[in-house]
Amino acid sequence: MDKKKMERLYELLERVEREHNREAAAALRWAIFNLERMGDTANKYNG
């Protein structure tokens, strides 16, 4: 996933944390974790 999209997800996470939306924050953390993990796996096999 490109860097700009990941930055946007982190911005959304910060926003929902400020709004105390725990469910949305948990979902975003899980999505970010999995996307970063997928990126690491792809880099491992492509690099």
The reported pTM is: 0.80
**CA–centroid distance for 9 within its chain:** 5
| Alpha helices by DSSP H, the chain | 3-18, 22-46
Cβ 33 vs Cβ 45: under 8 Å: no
* Model confidence pLDDT, tens digit, residues 1-47: 688 999 999 999 999 999 999 999 999 999 999 999 998 766 666 65
> Which pLDDT belongs to residue 40?
74
Contacts of 13 (CB under 8 A, 6+ apart): 25, 28, 29, 32
